[in-house]
Amino acid sequence: MLKFNNVTKRFPDGTEAIRNISLQVPRGQFCVVLGPSGAGKSTLLRMLNGLSSPTEGEVMLDDEQITGKSVSRLRRKVATVHQQFNLTPRMSVALNVLSGALPQVSHWRAGIGLFPAALREKACRLLDEVGLTPEHLPRRVSELSGGQQQRVGIARAFMMDPAVLLADEPVASLDPRISRGILQLLHRQSRNHGTTVLCSLHQPELAREFGDRIVAVSQGRLVFDGTPAQLTDSVCEDLYHGTLNRHHEEPKAAVPVSVPSLEMAIA
Amino acid sequence: MSNLSVNQAANWHLPQPYNTRHVLFALIALLILAVSGVRMEVPRMVHDTVQGVGYAVGLADESPVATGVKRIAESIWPLRISEETEISRIENFDRENLPWLSRVEVIETKMQRMNTDTLRLEETIESKEVLIKPLGYLSHVLLKMLETLEMALWGTLLSVLLSIPLAYFAAANYAPNRFAYNLSRSTISLFRAIPELVSALFLVLAFGFGPIAGFLALGIHGAGFLGKFYAEDIENADRGPQEALQSIGAGKVKTLWYGVLPQVMPQYIAYTLYIFDRNVRMATVIGIVGAGGIGLELKGRFDMFNFDHVGTILVIIFLTVFLLDQFSARLRSRIL
């Protein structure tokens, strides 16, 4: 069980990325967080793996609060699939997947690259599950296509048998044809492994197709919480239209990285 | 439409790239160069060089520079390849078993001797047997060069080993605290600030003549460079992979090992090759202060005015540096 209790996140420059959000996600649910770029989706997700901490309120994972002290222990239950894949370039597919289990490996084993047999078998099994072949093992990830890289990213995320999987715009840098395949894979993997998924997206049609539940964030506020059927076109229009207008009045987006992509979306 | 663009163009203003401030700065810089140039005797350098070139093409009657260069060139050539040893000075000389390629020759030398009875100079002919090794001196120099290369290799190894922990603590995003960061940064600066030649002077006092002082001096100086370069690469590496590993709780050292090192490896190898390249050149120089290798031989021969020997040494150094350059350029282009 994942819980956000009245969470607010304020950045040092005064921007409020998250404003008083409360949310509960039961175990095994595939929850899509919908919203335009800069709405606060990333910040919401980053509070679960300790890359960001709430200014007010509390974030709970299995009835334990995520704080500075507990974060290093709780992190092991949370895996992340990133928008830019965040794989180590120039390193092999095999080592990238194995690096997902680094917290379980002793320093000296990690130092000389000798991973235990059980982990190596697991890496192979996961790579098979995400649809890669044994020929991919020694290849550098930078040689793979974007879709294949995200598959490696998903395999890496499942190395630690996470209770929660955070997918931060997992398909934003992939073309639409490949996006569906990746989300299908993510959906299937989380179902098979019983993982709770919090997946941020900005395409409503993909959210409807894959989410068990959809929550929408706009300007740091939770503006919608319901089933895919409840997410009608008019709700989506309100969500996006409203935000685009606000963007013109208030050019500073909550997450700076998202500004160019939003501008591209307008163009 | 065109009217509109004309009106808008009037609002634009594109200034010249230079203004009076730039001109003033240029004048000040010129003034400083002029004052410094006089202190550095630049006019005399120009005068002597032009005179030397004029002498070479037959326009000037005399030139101290040209005469000096000519004298050195004449004494360097022909290069010393062989080695001659008087047989009377070799203990247990075995005439039946001569060393490989060597031969015995009788050399006659005319000597002017003062006859003590007549008090006149008399010419006598002295003959002595010498053992000639045709490639003797060349192989001696090559062995010294090998020693120099070994010094460079150990110096590089030492600097890599020293700089890895230094770089870890000197990278702002990995240093455990401000103190360790500052300590490591200042150690790196200190290492870089001491020239090899100076530290070798002191290390020779501590460890005695020989290669130990040499490669220690090279290693310390190299660690100053590599520590700085490595640390800056760690700081500038792509944060994405590091964030990914951090977010699952991999810990700093493992994150560095798996999230940063594979990214920066090509640059690391390039820097290390550069330091090795530099160490070979520096190793020849620091030999001069007694730190072993070919420099020691060079200094000895130079002090005895054996310029033909010096010539051989210089040619070997040049060839080695040239070949090393080719080798490292090839290696670098394969890695990057």
Residues 5-44, chain A, touching B (beta carbon < 8 A): none
- ipTM surpasses cut 0.90: no
B335 has a chain A CB within 8 A of its CB: no
Query: Which residues 208-247 of chain B have a CB within 8 Å of chain A?
Result: 238, 240-241, 243-247
A80, A89, A111 member nearest B257 (Cβ): A111
Which DSSP symbol is given to B99? P
Contacts by A24-29 with C-beta closer than 8 Å and gap 24+?
Answer: A25/A1, A25/A196, A25/A198, A25/A213, A26/A1, A26/A196, A27/A1, A27/A163, A27/A194, A27/A196, A28/A190, A28/A194, A28/A195, A28/A196, A29/A196, A29/A197, A29/A212, A29/A213
Are B276 and B141 part of one and the same domain? yes
| Same domain assignment for residues B105 and B240 | no
B314 is written with which tokens? 């210089």
Residue A40 CB neighbours (<10 A): 26
Best residue in A42, A53, A88, A90 to probe B by mutation, most B CBs within 10 Å? A88
Collect all residues with Cβ–Cβ distance below 8 Å to B27 and sequence separation of at least 6.
none
CB B311 within 8 A of CB B76: yes
Q: How far apart are alpha carbons B269 and B189 in whole angstroms?
A: 21
Closest-CA residue of B relative to A76 is B248
Q: What pLDDT sits at residue A253? A: 43
Residues B190 and B330 in one domain: yes
Q: What is the mean pLDDT of residues A132-150?
A: 93
Whether residue B248 and residue A107 make contact (CB cut-off 8 A), yes or no, is: no
Among the partner residues A82, A88, A111, nearest to B259 by beta-carbon distance: A88
B159 vs B152: CA distance, rounded Å: 10
User: What are the residue ranges of helices labelled H in chain A?
Assistant: 41-46, 71-74, 93-98, 107-112, 117-129, 146-157, 176-193, 204-210, 233-249, 258-266
Mean pLDDT score, B86-95: 79
pLDDT at B2 over 70: no
Q: At what angle do helices B261-286 and B136-170 cross, to 10 degrees?
A: 140
Neighbour tally for B197: CB within 10 Å: 15
Evaluate if residue A6 carries a pLDDT over 60.
yes
**What is the model's pTM?**
0.77
Q: Is the pLDDT of residue B95 over 80?
A: no
Pair B268, B178 in one domain: yes
Chain A CB contacts of B243 below 8 Å: 51, 82, 86
Q: Does B173 touch chain A (CB under 8 A)?
A: no
Name the residue range of residue B44's domain.
16-74
A172 at interface of B, judged by CB pairs closer than 8 A = no
B42 part of a folded domain: yes
Residue percentage of chain A with pLDDT more than 90: 51
- pLDDT (tens digit per residue) in B297-320: 898 898 998 889 999 999 999 999
- H helix or E strand, kind and range, residue B124: strand B120-133
pLDDT at A256: 42
Give the pLDDT mean for A115-120: 94
Q: Could you give the CA distance from residue A157 to residue A81 in angstroms, rounded to a whole number?
A: 6
Q: Residue A253's closest CA among A63, A17, A8?
A: A17
Chains A and B: how many Cβ contacts under 8 Å?
A: 73
Tell me: do B198 and B240 sit in the same domain. Answer: yes
Is A219:A39 a contact under the CB 8 Å cutoff?
yes
**In total, how many domains does chain B have?**
3
Shared domain for B185 and B224, answered yes or no, is yes
pLDDT for residue B114: 80
Query: Which pLDDT belongs to residue B6?
Result: 59
B145 in the same domain as B90: no
Q: How confident is the model at residue B7 (pLDDT cuts 50, 70, 90)?
A: low
Most confident of A68-77, B127-136, B227-236: B227-236
Residue recorded with tokens 């050399």: B107
Neighbours of B154 (CB within 10 A): 19
Q: pLDDT at residue A244 above 50?
A: no
Percent of chain B scored above 90 by pLDDT?
52
* Nearest one of B155, B190, B187 to B169, comparing CA atoms: B187
Rounded to an integer, what distance in angstroms lies between the CA atom of residue A184 and that of residue A52?
A: 28
Residue B2 lies in a domain: no
The answer to whether the Cβ–Cβ distance between B248 and A73 falls below 8 Å is no
Domains in chain A with CATH codes: 2-266 (3.40.50.300)
Residue B150 shares a structural domain with residue B64: no
Q: What are phi and psi of A172, to 5 degrees?
A: -65, -30
**Same domain membership, residue B152 and residue B260:** yes
Is B1 among the domain residues?
no
CATH number (domain holding residue B169):
1.10.3720.10
At residue B113, the pLDDT reads 79
- Contacting residues of A for B246, CB less than 8 Å apart: 51
Within a domain: B275: yes
Q: Which of A90, A99, A156 sits opposite B265 (nearest CB)?
A: A90
| Residues in a beta bridge with A33 | A200, A215
End-of-domain residue from the set B134, B157, B177:
B134
**Chain B contact for A104 (CB, 8 A cutoff):** no
Do B103 and B204 lie in a common domain?
Answer: no
Residue B8 within a domain: no
